[in-house]
Amino acid sequence: MTALEQIGTMADVPIELEMELDRKVMPLSEILEWEPGRVVWLTRSAGEAIDIHAGGALIGFGEVVIIESTFGVRITDFNQGV
């Protein structure tokens, strides 16, 4: 039985997804100095795995891709046991 068959009628319930690129701790004083155009450096490199959460639970991993002038996430690993 597939995951879609297991959840049946709940398949159409919208769930908020989060694609987490990175987290950073900074002092409030530094954040208050930000201006438009400010760049915040992240610790992850291009092509490195990012976390994918649904309803607060980690459900998979992906990598950031650029499609024309927008960003997307390519799914690289997906836990269907959710």
Whether the Cβ atoms of residue 79 and residue 59 lie closer than 8 Å to each other: yes
Asked if pLDDT for residue 28 goes beyond 90, the answer is yes
Q: Return the bridge partners of 73, or none.
A: 64
Asked if pLDDT for residue 3 goes beyond 80, the answer is no
At 80 the pLDDT is 61
> Domain boundaries in the chain?
39-82
Q: What percent of the chain has pLDDT over 90?
A: 22
Per-residue model confidence as pLDDT tens digits over 37-66: 998 888 877 677 888 998 888 999 998 888
CATH superfamily of this structure's domain 39-82: SpoA-like (2.30.330.10)
At 82 the pLDDT is 47
Q: What percent of the chain has pLDDT over 70?
A: 95
